[in-house]
Homo-oligomer: A and B are copies of this chain.
Amino acid sequence: MIPEIPTAGLYDVINRRRDTRREFTGAEIPQDALDRVLSAAHCAPSVGMSQPWDFVLVRAPETLDVFAKHVGEERDTYAATLEGERAETFSRIKVEGIRESGLGIVVGYDPTRGGPNVLGRHAIADAGLYSVVCAIQNLWLAATAEGLGVGWVSFYREEFLRSLVGMPDHVRPVAWLCVGPVEGLPDVPDLERHGWRHRSPVGSVLHQETYGRRA
């Protein structure tokens, strides 16, 4: 159980949540807010109640700096695959706020958690990985309710990040989350605002009884 404090309603939070890059103020997160956010993550569903996640809280400026440089290189690698309008549009898009947020939460997946016979994982090996992402989404929504921004960085190599924070070989890095107070959250997602891609209507992903059969 996490302590209940007055906060925004679920749908309001789901609507306001954004992937944050530019809006971090660099201020410290109040400890009680951070505690609630981490408790919300730990309250996520998990296959066989294995709770197979780890959270490494990184604040050391030198670590943030090393990771930001690595991400910059991966950004260049991706940019080199683009041409024309795509390359031009991407050049205006910020992909991380690692230094600006002041806190990186590295999320790991430990498949050894819960013993050798995790209930519900024998047929779906990735079920444990799915649990970790449920925890990330809980964290993200809780942070939004607390007035914090979260930016999920995925321009990195897993082996680099594992080594950077000293995760053992059996723990898989799943995310680097930039987390910190923000001036506010934009109404429109960055990628939409920059014309990278637009959101689709929900009807386009719904099927009735079988795939491809529309309502």
Interface residues in chain A, defined as those with a beta carbon under 8 Å from any beta carbon in chain B: 1-15, 17, 19, 36, 38-40, 42-45, 47-51, 53-60, 63, 74, 77-78, 81-82, 86, 90, 93, 95, 108, 114, 117, 119-124, 126-127, 129-130, 133-134, 136-138, 140-142, 145, 152, 154-158, 165-168, 171, 174-175, 189, 191-192, 196-200, 202, 205-212
Across chains A and B, which 10 residue pairs bring their CB atoms closest together, nearest first? Answer: A133-B133, A137-B137, A166-B210, A42-B202, A56-B207, A120-B154, A49-B197, A134-B137, A49-B191, A166-B211
Cα separation A10 to B6 with both chains bound (whole Å): 9
Q: Which residues from chain B contact A50 at a C-beta distance below 8 Å?
A: 197
Contact B9 A78 (CB under 8 A): no
Contacts A49-B199, A137-B137 given: A7-B11 contact, CB under 8 Å? yes
Cα separation A212 to B59 with both chains bound (whole Å): 15
Would you give 8 A-B contacts (Cβ < 8 Å), ordered by A? A11-B145, A14-B141, A54-B205, A55-B206, A77-B122, A78-B117, A137-B137, A166-B211
Contacts A11-B40, A196-B49 given: A127-B145 contact, CB under 8 Å? no
Q: Which residues from chain B contact A74 at a C-beta distance below 8 Å?
A: 122-123
Q: Which residues from chain B contact A197 at a C-beta distance below 8 Å?
A: 48-50, 114, 119
Cα separation A141 to B15 with both chains bound (whole Å): 13
Cα separation A1 to B145 with both chains bound (whole Å): 17
Contact A43 B15 (CB under 8 A): yes
